Amino acid sequence: MKFGTKTIHAGVEPDPSTGAIMTPIFQTSTYVQRSPGDHQGYEYSRTHNPTRTALQNNLAALENGKYGLCFSSGLGAIDAIIKLLNPGDEVISTNDLYGGSYRIFTKVFQRYGIKFHFVSMEDPASIEASINENTKLIWAETPTNPMMNIVDISKIAAVAKKHGVLLAVDNTFATPFLQNPLDLGADIVMHSVTKYLAGHSDVVMGAIIVNDDDLAERLAFIQNACGATPGPQDCFLVLRGIKTLHIRMERHCQNGKTIAAFLRTHPMVDKVYWPGFEDHPNHQVAKTQMRDFGGMISFTIKGNRIEDANKVLENLHYFALAESLGGVESLCGHPATMTHASIPKEEREKVGLVDSLIRLSVGIEDADDLKEDLKQALAKIG
C-alpha cells in the first residue's frame, strides 16, 4: 500500500460481528473467558483492547515497522523507553529538545542513576566522542523542538550500530508522512500522537514503533506492567484523525512554506528557523531524509525583547496562544516560558532559544488569512 492508502486501511478491518466499516469503540475493562486462560485474545483492557490493537497496527504500518504500542501520552511513551535501561546506564541526547523530555530525563530518571549527556547532533562526531562503555541509548529529535535543527538519522544510526547502542528518534514534528526513521536505521520511533497523528487537538496519547522482536516484547511488558495505556475512545479518535493525515500534512507543508517566506521578509523579524530554506545549515540533510519540510516554524523578534514577543502573541487571532502543536488550527507559543520553561535559561540560550523566540504550528487554514494575522500582530511592535 502507498502511504495514503495505509492511513485508511492498514491494520483496520470491518467489524466481523456487524460489518461496521469503522473500528468500534470497545468500551470495556474486561472480557469473558470460557475457562481460565481460554479466551479470544483479550483478558483485561490495560493489557489489550481491540480498538487499541487496530490503532497500534495502523501506526506500525505507517512507520514501516512490525510492532506499535500506544501510551496515555507522549511522555508515557518516553518513560517506557527509558525504563529499558538500568542504573548506571548513560544516554546521549540532542541538546535542543522538547522541554518535557529534558524534564523527565533530568528530574526523574537521573535520580535513579541514569546519566544523560546533551550534545549537538548536527555533527555525528560529537556523539561518538561522548560514547563510553555505559552508553546504552542515543535519543534524537528531528526536526528539533523548537530550533528546527535536522539530525542525519542514517549517520547517527551508523554510529549507534558501530557501538552496539540503541537509537530512538522522536518523529513527532515530521510524522511518518515526512520521514520514517526505522527505514534510516533507527531502532525505536516515538510519537506524541497528541500532535499531527491525531491532528484535531482533542486527544493526548503517545506511541512507540519498533521492528525488533525482543525490543517489542520488553516494551509491551513495560506497557502492561506500568499501565500508562490509552482508553478506547481516544484510540478511536486517533484512528479517525489518521485517515486524513496525508492530506492534512500536504496543507501544513504548503502553508508552512508560505508563512516562513513571509516572516523572512518582515522588517520586525530577526531570524526564521525552518529547514526548507536553502541556506538552513541542515537543508541538504532535510531534503534527503524528508519528503517535505513541515509546518513548524520558529522566529525571533529584532531586539530580542520578551515584551515584544508577548505583545505579538497576545494580539494574534487565528494563531491561538496555546500549548501543543500539530492540530488543524494554527497555534503559537513562547517556548522560554511555556514548553521549554523547565530547561535552565543558560542552557536554552546556548542553542539559540532566546526570550523573543516564538514557535508557530501552522495549521491548514487559508494562508492569506494567516499572513494577515501575523502582519497585524507584528505591527503592534512596529
| Catalytic sites, residue numbers | 46, 98, 170, 195
Distances (CA, A) of 80 to 83, 223, 228, 291, 349: 5, 7, 9, 29, 30
- What would the grid cell of residue 69 be? 504500542
d(CA 255, CA 295): 7
CA angle 360, 363, 103 (to 5 degrees): 45
Question: Is residue 361 within a helix (H) or strand (E), and if so which, with residue range?
Answer: strand 358-361
Per the CB < 8 A criterion, the answer to whether 367 and 375 are in contact is no
Phi, psi angles (nearest 5°) of residue 11:
75, 0
Burial (0-12, 13-18, 19+ Cβ within 10 Å), 214? exposed
Count of CB atoms within 10 A of residue 62's CB? Answer: 26
What is the Cα 305 distance to its own chain's centre?
Answer: 29
101 Cβ neighbours under 8 A, 6+ residues apart:
75, 78, 93, 139, 141, 170
**Cell numbers for 118:** 546533551
CA distances from residue 41 to 24, 47, 271, 351, 368 in whole angstroms, order as listed: 17, 10, 54, 49, 52
